[in-house]
Structure formats: C-alpha cells, structure tokens
C-alpha cells in the first residue's frame, strides 16, 4: 500500500469517528449548580454561617495508623460530590466577603 492510499484510508476512518453534532447530555443538577453559584453574599451573619458550615478540607480523608505504622490511606472522597466545586466556591466567596467587607481576620 502506498503512502497516499494509507492517508486516504486513515482520513476516511477519522471522518467516520468524528460526529458533527455534539452529544446531548442531560444534567439533573444543573439548576442547583446555577443556584449555588448565584447565591449573593450580602450579610455578615450568612457569610459566617457558610464559612463555618462548609469544611475547608475533606473531613473523610484519613491515615490509618496502628502502633506508629501507617497501614492505609483513605483518599479525600469529597471530590465524588457532584456539587463540590460550587460549595467550595460558595465558601470562598463567604470568606472574601468577611475579609474585604467586614474586615475580619480569619
């Protein structure tokens, strides 16, 4: 097989695999994500509550240590939460409000 035949065949296979229309993906949590991203932080009391209620690090991450030896490590499972990024963003916006608007040192 010549190089030109190989190029024609590879182009034909590449064009068959590429779909011209994007696949439709239904996201059930999209309205909740939008709502969390749009929550206004305009109150110091709300900002303090959100900052304290949303953990800064994953509370499930653990090292299992027996007699001073590390037997196992449980990885952070918070990344499995489909709303993780929105919650972390909400905590960050709350923290920024407390520092910039209220002058609190965290």
Give 38's pLDDT tier (boundaries 50, 70, 90).
very high
pLDDT reading at 44 higher than 90: yes
The Cα 24–Cα 87 span in angstroms is 26
What average pLDDT does the structure give for the chain? 84
Distance between CA atoms of residues 35 and 75, nearest Å:
29
Please say whether the beta carbons of 94 and 50 come within 8 A: yes
Assess whether pLDDT exceeds 60 at residue 5.
no
76 pLDDT more than 70: yes
User: 80 in helix, strand or coil?
Assistant: helix
In the chain, domain spans = 31-106
Q: Is the pLDDT of residue 10 over 80?
A: no
Phi, psi of 45, rounded to the nearest 5 degrees: -65, -45
What's the pTM?
0.68
């Amino acid at each position: 097989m010549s190089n030109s035949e190989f190029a024609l065949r590879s182009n034909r296979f590449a064009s068959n695999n590429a779909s011209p229309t994007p696949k439709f993906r239904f996201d059930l949590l999209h309205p909740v994500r939008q709502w969390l991203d749009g929550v206004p932080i305009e109150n110091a009391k709300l900002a303090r509550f959100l900052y304290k209620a949303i953990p800064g690090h994953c509370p499930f991450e653990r090292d299992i240590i027996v007699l001073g030896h590390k037997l196992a490590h449980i990885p952070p499972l918070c990344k499995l939460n489909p709303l993780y990024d929105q919650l972390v963003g909400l905590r960050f916006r709350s923290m920024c409000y407390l520092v910039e608007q209220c002058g609190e040192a965290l």
